[in-house]
Each structure stands twice: as structure tokens, then as C-alpha cells.
């Protein structure tokens, strides 16, 4: 039976796409963004056992080559996450499509649809195809929140059962993109164009960093020109909360000022991205 590592399911969310949505966060991401707010979702547990003894509630044990988590015993102190040297979390449920669907059905009378996120949910492409097929039978919409690392054009099956993709355009300049995310910009930019052509770009998003005038401008100019009025373009203020200590010094200890971010939203709208706004 197909399973996928689920970090968290939020039954009702109004920040993960239009309307009220159930958000499903999968564990694991091929990027390593310096500004990641949930760095414990980047890697899968390798079963080193370092976190087990430090759990004050006895909620952790080792088995099946990884940490096993007793969610009922857990007191959510996050000591395990602070301990883990691998950027992982033991608080992950390997769930079947049926198990995830059962949770979606509980919220179904009150939601417009489902959003899958992460980590990077497209690492679970086969799982998503099956899950979305079932969610569609409930008459609900399906959205993907993605860093753009998956080649949607090469394997368009998931797009066929999904209503749209909320795509990060983190950086355009290759060296800056590699420094920021650990990967180059080629695939996310290819996806930006492909999703636009396919009519499946739900929104584009770019984080604006304090003092990074040239990098911010290049990314916003490029993205705004392509997106035009086709979808929302979210200009997101960098906020240091949750960012790993080691990287905060590089990106700034303070959040991006609202006025500074507004400057880029205005620039984007002047370039044709009529639905650009700051969050």
C-alpha cells in the first residue's frame, strides 16, 4: 500500500490558497533554503536515535530504521527537533491515501478544497495523484504549494487532477539562487512558463530580503513580466522566525520593512503584474 511521510495536517486553513482549506504538509524537500521557517521538514529521519533519550514524555523509540513517534504521549515540547542533527523530525506519520482521505472527509463539509505543501509535496507525486483523484470525488479543489523542483511538463499526470500550483520564484540569478536554496533556478523558471501556458499557475511568490536590492529587483522584474495579470503575485516580506541561527546573520536579523516590500509590489504592478501585493 502506498504511504507518504506526513509532517502535519491542518484541518482548516485560510492562508494556503483561496477559501477554507485542509492543508497537508509532507516531510522532505530537495532544497535547503537559508530562510526556511520549518527546517525540520527538509530531511527524512535516518534513525540515528539521538532524539530518543531526550524525550521527556517517552514518546520516541527506534524501529523500522527510524524514530517511531507516539503522538498520544507527545507533549509537543519540540526537544527532539532541537536535538536532531539531520534537519529532520521524528514527529512524522507515514500515512496511506485512505488515512489522509479520512481526515479530509472529517473537514469536508466546511472546506473548499485541499492544499498539499511541505517540505516539498511533489516528492510524493504518485501519492498526490491518487489522493487528488479521491478528493475530486468529494467535489473539492486540489492545489499544490511547490518550490518548483518537480518537472510538471515531463510528467503532467498530477496537473491533470490538480486545479493549480502556488509556485515559489525564489531567485532568478543562478549564483544567488544556489546560495539561497542550494539549487539553481532552471527548473522553477521552466515551471513558471509551463504552468502559465497550461493555465495552472494559481499564484507566484517571491520573498523580499532586506538590503538585497539587486537580487530582489532582478527576481521581481523577471517574474512580474511573465506573470502579468494571469494570477496573484505575492511579494512576501522576509521574516527571521524559525530560520536557523547560523543563517540569520547572512539574511538579516530583522524582517523586511513593509515600505521596502511595497516598492517591489509597485514595481511588479508597473510591469504588468496587476495582481501583485505584499504579505
Interface with ligand SF4 by CB under 6 A: which residues? 45-51, 55-57, 59-60, 67, 69, 74-80, 83-84, 86, 88-91
Least distance to ligand SF4 from the beta carbon of 22, Å?
23
Cα four-point dihedral sign 60, 114, 272, 150:
positive
Mapping DSSP to helix (H, G, I), strand (E, B) and coil, where does residue 198 land?
helix
Question: 69 or 132, CB closer to ligand SF4?
Answer: 69
The DSSP 8-state label assigned to residue 255 in this structure reads P
Least distance to ligand SF4 from the beta carbon of 242, Å?
15
Least distance to ligand SF4 from the beta carbon of 246, Å?
17
Q: Is the peptide bond before 119 cis (omega within 30 degrees of 0)?
A: yes
Question: 24 or 52, CB closer to ligand SF4?
Answer: 52
Cα four-point dihedral sign 122, 118, 85, 69:
negative
Nearest to 34 by CA among 238, 174, 199, 215: 238
Those residues whose C-beta lies under 8 Å from the C-beta of residue 12, and which sit 6 or more positions away, are 20, 21, 22, 107, 110, 111
Least distance to ligand SF4 from the beta carbon of 75, Å?
4
Question: 57 or 160, CB closer to ligand SF4?
Answer: 57
Least distance to ligand SF4 from the beta carbon of 223, Å?
35
Write phi, then psi, for 78 (nearest 5 degrees).
65, 15
Question: 84 or 189, CB closer to ligand SF4?
Answer: 84
Mapping DSSP to helix (H, G, I), strand (E, B) and coil, where does residue 158 land?
helix
Question: 51 or 208, CB closer to ligand SF4?
Answer: 51
Amino acid at each position: 500500500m502506498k504511504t507518504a511521510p506526513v509532517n502535519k495536517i491542518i484541518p482548516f486553513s485560510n492562508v494556503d490558497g483561496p477559501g477554507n482549506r485542509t492543508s497537508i504538509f509532507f516531510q522532505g524537500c530537495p532544497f535547503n533554503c537559508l530562510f526556511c521557517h520549518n527546517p525540520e521538514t527538509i530531511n527524512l529521519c535516518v534513525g540515528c536515535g539521538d532524539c530518543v533519550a531526550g524525550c521527556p514524555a517517552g514518546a520516541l523509540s527506534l524501529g523500522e530504521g527510524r524514530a517511531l513517534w507516539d503522538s498520544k504521549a507527545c507533549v509537543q515540547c519540540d526537544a527532539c527537533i532541537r536535538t536532531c542533527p539531520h534537519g529532520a523530525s521524528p514527529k512524522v506519520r507515514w500515512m496511506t491515501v485512505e488515512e489522509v482521505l479520512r481526515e479530509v472527509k472529517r473537514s469536508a463539509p466546511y472546506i473548499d478544497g485541499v492544499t498539499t505543501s511541505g517540505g516539498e509535496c511533489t516528492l510524493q507525486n504518485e501519492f498526490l495523484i491518487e489522493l487528488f483523484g479521491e478528493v475530486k470525488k468529494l467535489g473539492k479543489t486540489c492545489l499544490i504549494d511547490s518550490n518548483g523542483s518537480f518537472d510538471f511538463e515531463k510528467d503532467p499526470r498530477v496537473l491533470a487532477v490538480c486545479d493549480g500550483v502556488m509556485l515559489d520564484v525564489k531567485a532568478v540569478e543562478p549564483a544567488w539562487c544556489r546560495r539561497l536554496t542550494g539549487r539553481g533556478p532552471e527548473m522553477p523558471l521552466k515551471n513558471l512558463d509551463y504552468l502559465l501556458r497550461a493555465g495552472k499557475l494559481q499564484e507566484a511568490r517571491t520573498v523580499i530580503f532586506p538590503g538585497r536590492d539587486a537580487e530582489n529587483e532582478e527576481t521581481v522584474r523577471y517574474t512580474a513580466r511573465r506573470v502579468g495579470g494571469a494570477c496573484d503575485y505575492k511579494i512576501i516580506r522576509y521574516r527571521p522566525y524559525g530560520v536557523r541561527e547560523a543563517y540569520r546573520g547572512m539574511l538579516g536579523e530583522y524582517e523586511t520593512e513593509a515600505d521596502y516590500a511595497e516598492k517591489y509590489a509597485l514595481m511588479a504592478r508597473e510591469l504588468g503584474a496587476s495582481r501583485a501585493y505584499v504579505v
